[in-house]
Amino acid sequence: MQKELKVSAIKNGTAIDHIPSNALFKVIQILGLEKSEHQITFGMNFESKRMGNKAIIKIADRYFKDDEINRITLVAPNAKLNIIRDYEVIEKKVVEVPDFIEGIAKCINPKCVSNIENIKSKFKVIAKDKVTLQCHYCERITNQENIIIKN
Amino acid sequence: MKSLVSITDFSKDEILKTLDLASEFENNPNQNILNNKVVASIFFEPSTRTRLSFETAVNRLGGRVIGFSDSANTSVSKGETLKDTISMIANYADLIIMRHHIEGAARYASEISRVPVINAGDGANQHPSQTLLDMYSIKKTQGKLENLTIAMVGDLKYGRTVHSLLMAMSHFNTTFKFIAPAELQMPVEYKNYLNKLGLKYSEHTELSDNIDDADILYMTRVQRERFSDLLEYEKVKNIYILTNEMLEKTKPNVKVLHPLPRVSEIDINVDDNPKAYYFTQSLNGVYTRMAIITYVLGLK
Ligand SMILES: [Zn+2]
């Protein structure tokens, strides 16, 4: 109950839970929420038994397609989605790491063509439990700790 | 349309087919298969050895070559994007052979170009024709590719030739021995890859005594600039020099390969040893490149 008071309830929309607190703004950025016109409430540093510390985002009147929401797995691999209609959670979903990621992350290799020419970055996901990316262009491998999200 | 950017672009069957074609060209090197075809050989960074090998291959196949051997006097030096350069050249030629210092440049070019692209080296990333010529040399000297033991020696951390050879030979139930100074060991992602396939490998820091069961000794350069600790370099630089004495106890069929240029890692006295194969290996490059060109153009 207390949690619900901290981040106000929404009538219809999506609540994204179990985001690591330090990834909150990255999730906002990846989903393009800073440009959204929907009503958005978010909070961070909530206590979580599993994660120690988590963030929550609630977006009114907005639902996400799977491949849209799965992009956040790069920074929030354990995020959970609550789909809300009429104040009721009608569906719960977990995010899944996609096989291929385009345009979100930046290749860590400064000599990579994707950092030199004006092109969209592309990565193959070669491991999902601990997200590991391989650049489609320079083939350099980046592990979870080193993933850089593009601005 | 088929390009060859990374060795993993070729399946096991395609590798075998290319090697068979190479052997056909070795038996009959002058064929007019590229008659009326124009091949662009564009080297944004100079590499005389690779360029001459590719251009010899095109000429032996009866094709014509356009291009440049260094980008200093081209529109590239005036700031033209890679995209514009490749689009223009793809309009002139039937095939692009390119070398570039930017990693991933060849993959990007293959996405822009309307004709096939063969990667002749993109920075520290890939050089697939080198891998295929290494495999051609292995097959030719051993009579097979399956179930061999390959000892890789030297810089296994940064050496792109050993990484590509490992990936390609992983189709053939190879056993690997990685012999390198502690700072230059095979990266963990390649070892994970072998673990996943259930292939055997072992790691060593000493060259002598660890090569006796190898069928192929693949030597690479240990470069001074790769070491953060120069004292460490001074310690290891003399350990990784292959001598005739070390080859005495090795298997009779063993062959010593090296992607060249060599600096000091193989004693020059080894050159006359029948186990040395590195100079013939580079000659095999022309036949292998003839095969790659013919294959990506769908002409055989
Ligand atoms: Zn890259």
Is B165 in the same domain as B202? Answer: yes
Judged by DSSP in three states, B287 sits in: helix
Is B73 in the same domain as B28? Answer: yes
Number of domains in chain B: 2
Is B200 in the same domain as B145? Answer: yes
Q: What's the whole-model pTM score?
A: 0.87
Q: What's the rounded mean pLDDT across residues B68-73?
A: 84
The answer as to whether B11 is a domain residue is yes
Return the higher-pLDDT residue of B216 and B223.
Answer: B216
Q: Tell me, rounded to whole angstroms, the distance of Cα B234 from its chain centroid.
A: 28
Contact indicator for A113, A137 with CB cutoff of 8 Å: yes
Judged by DSSP in three states, B219 sits in: strand
Interface of A with B in 87-126 (CB under 8 A): 109, 111-114, 116-119
Identify any residues that bridge with A47 across adjacent strands, giving them in sequence order: A53
Is B107 within 8 Å of A137 when comparing Cβ atoms?
Answer: yes
DSSP line for chain A? -HHHHHS---SSEEEEEEEEGGGHHHHHHHTTGGG--S-EEEEEEEEETTTEEEEEEEEET----HHHHGGGGGT-TT-EEEEEETTEEEEEEE----SEEESSEE-S-TTBHHHHSS---EEEEEETTTTEEEETTT--EEEGGG-EE--
Ligand 1 geometric centre to CA of A109 (Å): 6
Return the higher-pLDDT residue of B300 and B170.
Answer: B170
Is B114 in the same domain as B134? Answer: no
Query: Which of the four pLDDT bands, split at 50, 70 and 90, describes residue A38?
Result: very high
CATH no. for residue B17? 3.40.50.1370
The answer as to whether B2 is a domain residue is no
Return the higher-pLDDT residue of A77 and B298.
Answer: B298
Q: What is the C-alpha separation between A122 and A119, in angstroms, rounded?
A: 9
Is B185 in the same domain as B231? Answer: yes
List the alpha helices (DSSP H) in chain B.
12-27, 48-60, 82-92, 105-112, 128-142, 160-169, 188-197, 230-236, 244-247, 278-296
| A122-127 β-sheet, strand order | A100-102, A122-127, A132-135, A141-143
Q: What's the rounded mean pLDDT across residues B188-202?
A: 95
- Is the interface score ipTM higher than 0.85? yes
In this predicted structure, the answer to whether residue A1 has a pLDDT above a threshold of 50 is no
The answer as to whether B39 is a domain residue is yes
Is the CATH number 3.30.360.10 carried by domain A100-149?
Answer: no
Query: Which of the four pLDDT bands, split at 50, 70 and 90, describes residue B236?
Result: confident
Is B169 in the same domain as B194? Answer: yes
Domain boundaries, chain A: 4-94, 100-149
Q: What's the rounded mean pLDDT across residues B259-283?
A: 92
Is B276 in the same domain as B154? Answer: yes
Residue B201 domain boundaries: 128-282
Percent of chain B surpassing pLDDT 90: 80
pLDDT digits (tens, 9 = 90+) for A74-124: 888 889 999 999 999 999 999 988 999 998 899 999 999 999 999 999 999
Is B27 in the same domain as B70? Answer: yes
Is B90 in the same domain as B52? Answer: yes
pLDDT the model gives residue A2: 46
B203, with CB counted inside 10 A (0-12, 13-18, 19+), is: middle
Say yes or no: do domains A4-94 and A100-149 share a fold: no
Is B154 in the same domain as B264? Answer: yes
Is B103 within 8 Å of A118 when comparing Cβ atoms?
Answer: no
Is the CATH number 3.40.50.300 carried by domain A4-94?
Answer: no
Q: What's the rounded mean pLDDT across residues B112-118?
A: 98
Interface test with A, best of B83, B102, B166 (most A CBs within 10 A): B102
In this predicted structure, the answer to whether residue B130 has a pLDDT above a threshold of 80 is yes
Residue B276, φ and ψ in degrees, nearest 5: -75, 135
Is B228 in the same domain as B187? Answer: yes
Q: Does A9 touch chain B (CB under 8 A)?
A: no
Interface of B with A in 103-142 (CB under 8 A): 103-105, 107-108, 122-126
Is B168 in the same domain as B249? Answer: yes
